Structure 1
Amino acid sequence: MIKKVLIPLAQGFEEAEFIGISDILKRASVLSDNLEIFISSLDKELLVSGAHGIKIKADFVLDNIKDKEFDAIALAGGFEGMSNLKANATILSIIKK
């Protein structure tokens, strides 16, 4: 059974936390054929700016994958990023589910 992990990216995310999280999970997915990683932008734009101006391109827009069942959600911090996560009804719904 494939495990699905969501990493949502909100404007102002902490870049070092995102890189650490996504790097470990991507490496694990290469070693195991039962892990799928979904890096998703909260916005309609795939390019998301981190807290220090580094831009990361997400693989998905959250609205396009919101109906998937996720086994885990990994959140990168950052004050602005966390504020934007808390203000997004879609990600809050996914987290609660």
Structure 2
Amino acid sequence: MDEYKSEVSTIVTEVYTGYQEVMDAGNEKEDVQLMIANKIMQFNPMNEEAMYVGCLLMSKSGMHQEARITYESFAQEYLKLYGEAYPISLKEILKRS
């Protein structure tokens, strides 16, 4: 079952990532971009690009607490998986906007 779950997760992440790239190019509404970033992270919580986009858009929309929670959740999972702290701070990510 894990094999199928992994395959479905990969396919869904690729599809949503494709949508995200099209949205970025077309200046689509930020709420749609945020929804896509959240969906990508649902299927692949270690997708850095989705975390970046999500944090940037949440912060831009005044959802600072949600952006912090999203970042911290990602950073904690990163620490568990790689045994080291995530090298980029939330502050650095938010400066990219």
What is the TM-score when the length of structure 1 is the normalising length? Answer: 0.30
Kindly indicate which of the two structures has a greater share of residues assigned to helix.
2
Larger Rg: 2
